[in-house]
């Protein structure tokens, strides 16, 4: 099977939210064919396997289990056949995984692992997403849905020419903002180019994640993006 790897920021699946809220719609308890949402203790939730790496005797018994860095080369306009990057385990646990002092910090909330994105006149809850091959952008008039051209591509965005945008990201707790510049191209044209990796693909987030800004793979290209795990407890 082909698969998509998504790496969350929590040690346990959905942390306090699923441990305390019995309407979480993530975990269910069933009696026969009748199922209802239920709370699940942290230790019994699906675990982030990286967070459970053991210590390495050759590294002072330190474990590379407090986070990851995703390192992907940049992708030119119009796409590329493929890209090869790295998934680096641990943050400041070895000499080769220490973050740069100039890194932009976006602390996330303890419930959903989200931060804030200001796009245009609106501010959205947002998240980084290794499991999505595009940006998820709340609806905007300058980015028409591809269904106007081909109903098979409903939900993807198809401007007549590539559009340039910027957004402001900020973490929880009043941390300084950082500007992210990005582009959105015509998905149908990009998809038909024969390339396999694109930095300009986007979908309308209202189609499946209402009101959220999804920073998918195009956000990762050309960066070292570090995710430090939260215990959420």
Splitting the chain (233 residues) into consecutive groups of 10 residues, what average pLDDT does each group show?
Answer: 73 89 94 96 92 92 94 96 94 92 85 89 90 89 89 93 95 81 97 96 76 92 91 48
- Longest CA pairwise span in the chain (Å): 59
Dihedral in degrees, nearest 10, Cα atoms 194, 195, 199, 201: 30
What sections of the chain are H helices per DSSP? Answer: 15-20, 187-191, 217-220
Q: What is the DSSP letter of 175?
A: P
Three-state SS string across 61-105, please? CECCCCEEEEEECCCCCCCECCCCCEEEECCCCCCCCCCCCCCCC
Element (H, E) at 164: strand 163-170
pLDDT score recorded for residue 208: 57
pLDDT score recorded for residue 192: 95
Closest CA to 124 of 78, 180, 71: 180
Tell me the pTM. Answer: 0.87
pLDDT digits over 106-116, tens only? 888 888 889 99
Angle formed at CA 117 by CA 178 and CA 195, multiple of 5 degrees: 85
Residue 91: CB atoms within 10 Å = 19
């Amino acid at each position: 099977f082909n698969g998509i790897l998504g790496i969350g920021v929590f040690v346990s699946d959905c942390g306090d939210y699923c441990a305390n809220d019995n309407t979480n719609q993530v975990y269910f308890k069933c009696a026969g064919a009748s199922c209802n949402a239920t709370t699940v203790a942290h230790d019994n939730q699906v675990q982030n396997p990286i967070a459970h790496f053991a210590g390495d005797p050759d590294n002072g018994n330190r474990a590379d289990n407090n986070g990851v860095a995703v390192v992907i080369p940049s992708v030119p306009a119009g796409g590329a056949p493929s890209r090869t990057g790295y998934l680096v385990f641990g943050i400041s646990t070895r000499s080769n995984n220490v973050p740069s002092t100039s890194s932009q910090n976006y602390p996330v909330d303890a419930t959903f692992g989200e931060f804030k994105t200001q796009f245009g006149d609106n501010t959205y809850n947002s998240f980084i997403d290794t499991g999505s091959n595009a940006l998820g952008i709340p609806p905007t008039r300058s980015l028409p849905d591809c269904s106007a051209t081909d109903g098979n591509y409903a939900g993807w965005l198809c401007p007549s020419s590539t559009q340039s945008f910027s957004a402001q990201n900020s973490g929880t707790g009043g941390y300084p903002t950082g500007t992210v510049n990005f582009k959105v191209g015509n998905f149908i044209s990009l998809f038909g180019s024969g390339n396999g990796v694109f930095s300009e693909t986007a979908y309308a987030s209202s189609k499946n994640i209402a009101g959220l800004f999804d920073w998918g793979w195009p956000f990762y290209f050309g960066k070292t993006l570090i995710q430090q795990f939260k215990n959420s407890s």
